[in-house]
Each structure stands twice: as structure tokens, then as C-alpha cells.
Amino acid sequence: MNDLTSETTFADAPSIIDPGLDPGHPRHASNPTAAALSLLDLHYEAFYDVEPFASQTGHPVPMDTRGWSQILASVLSGINGLARQKGADLADGSDVKGANTWKAIDTPRFNGVIKAGTKALTSDKIESLDVMPHLYLVLWDQTIRDTARCRIWVVRPQHDVLFRGICTNWYDKRTADEISSTNFQLHPPRRNDSNVIRNSCGNLEYPLYFCADVPTAKANVTA
């Protein structure tokens, strides 16, 4: 077990940004930020508790970034998941994308950010963005200060002109056969403190919705 001391928990993290939540949203806890930090501590502990076993047995560390990201987004936003339906991740139609660089071999990125190549009516159409109030981009990485960090940026696909422009650009390239992939990827600012999220169709810069980090005293950090 990691006997995490008070200095090594997200709950006492040196930098926390309290997200500006939409007014009127229900909340899961009286203090969503504190709840999120508890969740992050659990995630960090689970990851680095199992990591030695994975390492010794030559297996990848079980992560389930998708699940942790979705729960975290729900805790912070107050919007639950859709328990038993296909489609969106959150009940209001919002989507959550996650990526984790901890012990990663390749450079993690947000995969399949917009709908393409499926049989859904709005697939490959900009209209697919019109039913998505928010798009949460959740990134776990390490900082140059040897801290483990979790950051979230939030896109408003219905309103953000730049984001819609990038998506239109990408969809157009697919129509024109310049892009055959159905996987629209965004590259997060891994390791550095930038808020620029990149794609060759255009770059995005968003303010942080949430950020917390914790010293990696026990973690053997490898970029």
C-alpha cells in the first residue's frame, strides 16, 4: 500500500483550480472540488499500487482512463452518466475524452473526438456537435516539477466558433478524400503547462476548467 501522507495527496495539492460550474447544475457533493480530489487520490493510489505487479509480470498497468474520466466529469459538473444507453457519456448529451501519460509507451491523445464513420444520422456532419453541450477533455500527465497532474478543459461544441471551424475543416477533408481516417485526434499539452490542444486542422486554447497535482515522491516518474 502507498501510505500516502498528507503532503502526497491531491486533496492537499499545491495548485487547484476550482471549476466555474454552470449555475443551476445539481451537485453530487456539497464540495465538488473536494470530492474530485478524493477521487483523484483514489485513482493515483490504485494506479501506483498495482504498477509494481504489472512491472514485475511484464504487463501494462490497468488504467481504465475512460471510466475514471467520466466519473470525474460527473463529480465536477453534477451531470450523471447515462447508465444504460448508447451514445453520449453524460445525461445532458455531453461527451468525455480521457488520456493518461503515466507509464505510457506512446504519446497519448484524445481519440475519436467527433463522430465519423458510424451509421448515426449525424455522423460525419457538423450537426453532430449540436447535441453536445460540453466536451470534457481530461488529461493525466506529469509536470516538469515532478508532480502527477490532472487537468480538464471544456469545449462548448454548440458555440465555440474555433472548435466548429476545426471540425468543419476536418469533415471537409474527409469529404474531399484528403483524410480517410474516422479517428479525429486532438493532441493535448503533455508534460508542459500550455493550454494549447493541437490538430493539423487547427489549434485550440482553452482556460483550465480544473487542475490539480501532487508530488510524485513515490512514483518513479519517466516522462
Positions in the binding site for DNA (CB under 7 A): 60, 63, 65-66, 69, 83-87, 89, 95-100, 103-108, 110-112, 115, 118-120, 123, 179-181, 183-185, 187, 198-201
Q: Which is nearer to DNA, 38 or 123 (CB)?
A: 123
Q: Which is nearer to DNA, 86 or 161 (CB)?
A: 86
Closest distance of CB 191 from DNA, Å = 8
Pick between residue 90 and residue 214 the one whose CB is nearest to DNA.
90
CA distance 151 to 137: 8
Angstrom distance (rounded) from CA 217 to CA 106: 24
Cβ count within 10 A of residue 12: 15
**Inter-CA distances, 115 with 23, 127, 131, 186, Å:** 29, 10, 12, 13
Integer CA distances (angstroms), 117 to 36, 66, 182, in order: 34, 21, 5
Q: How far is the CB of 46 from DNA (least distance, A)?
A: 14
The upper half-sphere exposure of residue 20, i.e. CA atoms within 13 Å in the direction of its Cβ, equals 4
Q: Which is nearer to DNA, 27 or 187 (CB)?
A: 187
Please state the closest distance from residue 3 (CB atom) to DNA, in A: 26
Q: How far is the CB of 1 from DNA (least distance, A)?
A: 24
